[in-house]
A and B are shown apart, each in its own frame.
Chain A
Amino acid sequence: MAGSDEVNRNECKGAVPIHTWVLISNFKLAYNMLRRADGTFDRDLAEFLDRRVPPDARAPEGVSSFDHVIDTSTGLEVRIYRAAAANNAGAAAVTLPILDFLAGTPSPDPFPVILFFHGGSFAHSSSGTAIYDNLCRRFVKLSKGVVVSVNYRRAPEHRYPCAYEDGWTALKWAMSQPFLRSGGDARPRVFLSGDSSGGNIAHHVAVRAADAGISICGNILLNAMFGGTERTESERRLDGKYFVTLQDRDWYWKAYLPEDADRDHPACNPFGPNGRRLRGLPFTKSLIIVSGLDLTCDRQLAYAEGLQEDGHHVKLVYREKATIGFYLLSNTDHYHEVMEEIADFLRANL
Chain B
Amino acid sequence: MKREYQDAGRSGGDMGSSKDKMMVAAAGAGEQEEEEMDEMLAALGYKVRSSDMADVAQKLEQLEMAMGMGGVGGAGATADDGFISHLATDTVHYNPSDLSSWVESMLSELNAPPPPLPPATPPAPRLASTSSTVTSGAAVAAAGAGYFDLPPAVDSSSSTYALKPIPSPVVASADPSSTDSTREPKRMRTGGGSTSSSSSSSSSMDGGRTRSPVVEAAPPATQASAAANGPAVPVVVMDTQEAGIRLVHALLACAEAVQQENFSAADALVKQIPMLASSQGGAMRKVAAYFGEALARRVYRFRPTPDSSLLDAAVADFLHAHFYESCPYLKFAHFTANQAILEAFAGCRRVHVVDFGIKHGLQWPALLQALALRPGGPPSFRLTGVGPPQHDETDALQQVGWKLAQFAHTIRVDFQYRGLVAATLADLEPFMLQPEGDDKDEEPEVIAVNSVFELHRLLAQPGALEKVLGTVRAVRPRIVTVVEQEANHNSGTFLDRFTESLHYYSTMFDSLEGAGSGQSTDASPPAAGGTDQVMSEVYLGRQICNVVACEGAERTERHETLGQWRSRLGDSGFEPVHLGSNAYKQASTLLALFNGGDGYKVEEKDGCLTLGWHTRPLIATSAWRLAAP
Contacts and interface: CB of A to CB of B under 8 A. Distances in A.
Contacts of B615: 52, 54-55, 67, 77, 79, 128
Interface string A81-113: 000001110111111101100110000000000
Given A34-B88, A47-B588, A67-B236, A247 B76 contact: yes
B317 interface: no
A233 to B, nearest CB: 15
Given A29-B67, A45-B93, A240 B237 contact: no
A322 B57 CA distance: 19
Interface stretch (B18-26, B38-46, B262-270): B38-46
B86 to A, nearest CB: 10
Given A22-B48, A67-B614, A49 B93 contact: yes
Contacts of B88: 33-34, 36, 42, 45
B232 A56 contact: yes
B616 interface: yes
Given A26-B60, A95-B252, A329-B40, A90 B499 contact: yes
Interface string A29-49: 110111011000010110111
A29 B102 CA distance: 12
Nearest to A127: B615
Contacts of B236: 66-68
Contacts of B99: 22, 26
Interface of A is mostly: helix
B257 to A, nearest CB: 12
Interface stretch (A4-12, A278-286, A299-307): A4-12
Contacts of A87: 229
Given A29-B64, A47-B588, A54-B615, A103 B97 contact: no
Interface in B33-90: 38, 40-41, 43-46, 48, 53-54, 56-57, 60-61, 63-65, 67, 69-76, 78-79, 81, 84, 87-89
Contacts of B96: 30, 48-49, 51
Interface stretch (A57-65, A191-199, A313-321): A57-65
B507 to A, nearest CB: 10
B240 A130 contact: no
- Secondary structure of the B contact surface, majority rule: helix
Given A33-B84, A240-B73, A92 B234 contact: no
A147 B88 CA distance: 35
Central interface residue in A32, A53, A128, by most chain B CB within 10 Å: A32
Contacts of B237: 66-68, 98, 102
Contacts of B73: 239-240
B500 interface: yes
A1 B599 CA distance: 47
A7 to B, nearest CB: 10
Residue picked from A34, A95, A134, most chain B C-beta under 10 Å: A95
Contacts of A93: 496
Given A56-B232, A68-B237, A98-B237, A44 B72 contact: no
Given A5-B70, A61-B225, A91-B233, A331 B598 contact: no
A82 to B, nearest CB: 12
A67 B232 CA distance: 13
Contacts of A215: none
A52 to B, nearest CB: 7
Interface residues of A, number: 76
Q: Which of A60, A177, A248 has the most CB of B within 10 A?
A: A60
A60 B223 contact: yes
Interface in A156-187: 177, 179
Contacts of B70: 5, 8-9, 240, 245
Contacts of A34: 88
A21 B499 contact: no
Interface residues of B, number: 84
Most buried by A among B44, B74, B96: B44
Contacts of A55: 232, 234-235, 615
Given A90-B496, A103-B245, A48 B235 contact: no
Given A33-B88, A48-B581, A92 B255 contact: yes
B248 interface: yes
B309 to A, nearest CB: 30
B41 A5 contact: no
A60 B224 CA distance: 9
A322 B564 CA distance: 42
A23 interface: yes
Contact of A245 (B40, B74, B84, B599): B74
A22 B56 contact: yes
A330 B597 CA distance: 39
A308 interface: no
Contact of B240 (A49, A68, A128, A329): A68
Contact of B249 (A79, A99, A245, A328): A99
A240 B71 contact: yes
Interface string B215-237: 00000001101101110111111
Contacts, number: 237
B490 to A, nearest CB: 12
Contacts of A207: none
B211 interface: no
Interface in A313-345: 328-331
Nearest to A130: B45
Contacts of B234: 54-57, 66-67
Contacts of A239: 72-74
Given A19-B41, A57-B234, A95-B252, A75 B614 contact: yes
B44 A134 contact: yes
Contacts of B72: 1, 4-5, 8, 239-241
Interface centre among B69, B79, B228, B599, by most chain A C-beta atoms within 10 angstroms, is B69
Nearest to B79: A32
A246 interface: yes
A45 B228 CA distance: 32
Contacts of A45: 88, 93, 581, 585
Contacts of B41: 19, 22-23
A53 B228 CA distance: 16
Contacts of A328: 44
A5 B77 CA distance: 11
A18 B228 contact: no
A93 B233 CA distance: 11
A329 B616 CA distance: 27
A241 B69 CA distance: 11
B38 A8 contact: no
B44 A47 contact: no
Nearest to A42: B88
Nearest to A103: B245
B513 to A, nearest CB: 9
A245 B79 CA distance: 12
Contacts of B61: 9, 13, 25
| Residue with the greatest number of chain B CB neighbours at <10 A, chosen from A5, A19, A22, A87 | A22
A90 B41 CA distance: 28
A74 to B, nearest CB: 9
A257 interface: no
Contacts of A36: 88
A99 B240 CA distance: 9
Interface of B: 38, 40-41, 43-46, 48, 53-54, 56-57, 60-61, 63-65, 67, 69-76, 78-79, 81, 84, 87-89, 93, 96-97, 99, 103, 222-223, 225-226, 228-230, 232-237, 240, 242, 245-246, 248-249, 252, 255-256, 492-493, 495-500, 503, 581, 584-585, 588-589, 597-599, 602-604, 614-617
18 contacts: A23-B44, A26-B60, A29-B60, A45-B581, A49-B96, A55-B232, A58-B232, A69-B614, A77-B614, A91-B495, A131-B45, A134-B43, A240-B71, A245-B75, A246-B74, A248-B74, A329-B40, A330-B40
Shortest beta-carbon contacts, A-B, top 4: A51-B45, A90-B496, A247-B74, A130-B45
Given A48-B604, A179-B240, A331-B40, 6 more contacts: A47-B602, A48-B585, A52-B615, A54-B234, A58-B233, A91-B492
